[in-house]
Structure 1
Amino acid sequence: MLRILPYLVITVCVLLSCTSKIDSLTENKIKIRGVNLVAPPEPFDPVYFDSLVELGVSHVAVVPFGFSRKGSQRVIYNHEKQWWGEKDEGVFKTIELAHEHGLQVLLKPHMWISGEGWPGDFFIEDDFIDQWFNEYNQYILHYANIADSMNVEMLSIGNELRKLAINYPAYWKNLIEKTRAVYKGKLIYSANWDNYTQISFWQDLDYVGINAYFPLPKNRIEELTDLESIKDSWSPWVRELNEFNSKVNKPIIFTEFGYMSKDDSYNGHWLVSDSAYDEEDQALAYDALLSVFRSKDWWNGGYSWKYFMKSIPREEYYRRDAFIFQGKKAEKILKKHYSTGY
């Protein structure tokens, strides 16, 4: 017994060390104060990570796109024609720099559907669904292996694939099982705000992810005029989210939230894209969301959409891509909330 004791001690220590390492890599000890990073077309100056730290950011989402098209079973990713930040070289470097700056990482692959863009309505005929999911599995498992090798804290297995997520849950459960076989961190799926209650595989994941573009007000009757009225208009959605959390018993993360710098931006970006430029309403919308949710125990924080790793020339980008908060009033609101750590 005495002869084998040292070996037992060594084995226990190794196991405890591994467990401790995994826990430290995967557990989110604080509410997420995050941003989604726009993958840049070329290598960027690390000074932008200094700016994020100064803003109070604790987490970043790295977003490598994959591409498919209607009538095709292919999923294209890490292609030579993609931007640097979406190819493996850029993904590795971005994760490395984020960790060097003390930021935790969500690796969050997105699908882009050629000719359609948003993947929410993308659908594959039953005769080809096996082939498509086989390609999609390779796409996600590719990033699962990167996430594991880079000690990434969390991985999203999909983003806003509304029809495919609702109609083919068995394929997603199979993907989750395969992903857990190669990746030790936390898993999440990023559902659109209008269908998160229809996802049937939340219990197989660690978190509920919602892209939180909830339109305010929900009933479209009341008029919102100031911060308090916008905060009050969240009440129906908060009740719905609270009830949902009670059913699934999983923390909720807003894998995306954000607003356009447009009049009445809190109404829903698909309804206000042609409205007049308005930084004030964007700032009010940010302030209301973070004020309402920061006190909710079941809300684990979120990632603002979106942050460019480059300087933003005002006239070139501000009106064309109104989701930008950099250099606008909304950035000061984000800093006000993020710098206090919720």
Structure 2
Amino acid sequence: MKDSSTENKIKIRGVNLVAPPEPFDPVYFDSLVEMGVSHVAVVPFGFSRKGVQKVVFNHERQWWGEKDKGVIKTIELAHQNDLEVLLKPHLWIFGDGWPGDFIVEKDSIDQWFTDYNHYILHYAEIADSMNVDMFSIGNELRKLVVSYPEHWKDLIEKVRKVYKGKLIYSANWDNYSQISFWDELDFVGINAYFPLPKNKAEELSDFESIKSSWTPWVEDLKELNLRVNKPIIFTEYGYMSKDGSYNGHWQVSDSAYNEEDQALAYDALLSVFRSKEWWVGGYSWKYFMKSIPREEYDRRDAFIFQGKKAEKILKKHYTTGY
């Protein structure tokens, strides 16, 4: 007889960890375990700049949690708490931040990818040496993955030679259907900041309407799964504590503070996807390894779910089977 508490439980019940500026108290892993978290994403940032062919990483001026020493220690502590790890390098683009619109001039692309390969292979070797469960070869580089697919296939081949675990790429929500190398990976990774509703004429007002508004996106993702025959993981998902947070964070960042809408958006997403066989789970964005002062909830980073209604929703889904 199946245990009803584990039946239909989300397989990957993850959070993205914010790399801290300095060593953190391991007690925060106790809070994650109590929340039902089973997986964590560790995020070592690298830095690039338009017009420059270099990718800078593990620099002395970076935060402790972004450098090798902090990355290794965080992975060690996660494993000590029986949490599986996704090592997920991110690029930060000087002057822009988000890497989605980052482009490299054609006459510089080979040199840039040589440097990017060095960055990714460095962390692939760390991932292999520490028995990390999954490794991401990139994050939201939506223009570079479309323009230079052969460079990515070459990178995947190189990573396979140094890392024995599962490979994924973390695609932006508006870019996953344009990627031609899903066959070379073990999972489809999507940063699932889908704006709801897809049809802008639709009005959302409550939990059921938000759930229903997922239908067009669910159909698209199901088609992708059938086409590439790979399970789908949300390498990031999350919502701001803002009015209408489910509309897309870039559209609501100036809206009023609203914990209820953030919680509704979390609840709707997890309620919809937990029953889909092709969806393996996801990693909420994002978890700070420190206590968050109440006055920072909205002012500093509205994606924070700690201490808000959304944390209770996350715990509900991560600790129970339906």
Gapped runs of 5+ residues in structure 1?
Answer: 1-28
Q: 1:140 maps to which residue?
A: 120
4+ residue runs of structure 1 moved beyond 6 angstroms? none
Letter in 2 for 1:148: D
Supply the distance in 2 between the matched residues of 1:211 and 1:246 (Cα, whole angstroms): 19
Q: 1:17 maps to which residue?
A: none
Q: 1:84 maps to which residue?
A: 64
Q: CA deviation at 1:223?
A: 1.2
Q: Is residue 2:203 matched to residue 1:250?
A: no
Supply the distance in 1 between the matched residues of 2:242 and 2:296 (Cα, whole angstroms): 16
Output the TM-score relative to the length of structure 2. Answer: 0.96
Residue pairs, 1:68-79, within 5 angstroms: 68-79=48-59
Letter in 2 for 1:102: D
Which of 178, 189, 196 is the equivalent residue of 1:216? 196
How many pairs align? 314
Mapped contact 1:188–1:209 kept (Cα < 8 A):
yes
Q: 2:281 maps to which residue?
A: 301
Mapped contact 1:215–1:266 kept (Cα < 8 A):
yes
Q: 1:18 maps to which residue?
A: none
Q: CA deviation at 1:31?
A: 1.5
Q: CA deviation at 1:316?
A: 2.6
Q: 2:4 maps to which residue?
A: none
Supply the distance in 2 between the matched residues of 1:141 and 1:127 (Cα, whole angstroms): 23
Mapped contact 1:110–1:159 kept (Cα < 8 A):
yes
Which structure exhibits the higher relative contact order, with contacts defined as CA atoms closer than 8 Å and separated by 6 or more residues?
Answer: 2
Q: Is residue 2:78 matched to residue 1:98?
A: yes
Q: 2:136 maps to which residue?
A: 156
Supply the distance in 2 between the matched residues of 1:199 and 1:31 (Cα, whole angstroms): 25
Secondary structure at 2:124's aligned position in 1? helix
Supply the distance in 2 between the matched residues of 1:145 and 1:244 (Cα, whole angstroms): 30
Q: CA deviation at 1:79?
A: 0.2
Mapped contact 2:235–2:282 kept (Cα < 8 A):
yes
Q: CA deviation at 1:222?
A: 1.4
Which of 13, 33, 36 is the equivalent residue of 1:53? 33
Residue pairs, 1:1-342, within 5 angstroms: 31-340=11-320
Letter in 2 for 1:49: F
Mapped contact 2:10–2:274 kept (Cα < 8 A):
no
Letter in 1 for 2:90: H
Mapped contact 1:56–1:341 kept (Cα < 8 A):
no
Q: CA deviation at 1:341?
A: 5.1
Mapped contact 1:277–1:319 kept (Cα < 8 A):
no
Letter in 1 for 2:213: S
Secondary structure at 2:239's aligned position in 1? coil
Q: CA deviation at 1:314?
A: 1.1
- The superposition leaves residues 142-186 of structure 1 with CA deviations (integer Å, 9 ceiling, x where unpaired) of 000000000000000000000001110000000000000000000
Supply the distance in 1 between the matched residues of 2:69 and 2:297 (Cα, whole angstroms): 26
Q: Give the root-mean-square deviation of aligned CA atoms.
A: 1.0
Letter in 1 for 2:291: S
Q: CA deviation at 1:30?
A: 6.5
Mapped contact 2:13–2:281 kept (Cα < 8 A):
yes
With over 3 angstroms needed to count, the CA separation of the structure-2 counterparts of 1:320 and 1:217, relative to structure 1, is same
Mapped contact 2:88–2:136 kept (Cα < 8 A):
yes
Supply the distance in 1 between the matched residues of 2:300 and 2:292 (Cα, whole angstroms): 12
- The superposition leaves residues 197-253 of structure 1 with CA deviations (integer Å, 9 ceiling, x where unpaired) of 000000000000000000000011111111000000000000111111100000000
With over 3 angstroms needed to count, the CA separation of the structure-2 counterparts of 1:87 and 1:79, relative to structure 1, is same
- The superposition leaves residues 287-307 of structure 1 with CA deviations (integer Å, 9 ceiling, x where unpaired) of 000000000000000000000
Supply the distance in 2 between the matched residues of 1:309 and 1:275 (Cα, whole angstroms): 27
Q: 1:3 maps to which residue?
A: none
Supply the distance in 2 between the matched residues of 1:51 and 1:320 (Cα, whole angstroms): 22
Supply the distance in 2 between the matched residues of 1:281 and 1:221 (Cα, whole angstroms): 19
Mapped contact 1:68–1:113 kept (Cα < 8 A):
yes
Secondary structure at 2:101's aligned position in 1? coil
**Is the radius of gyration larger for structure 1 or structure 2?**
1
Gapped runs of 5+ residues in structure 2?
Answer: 1-8
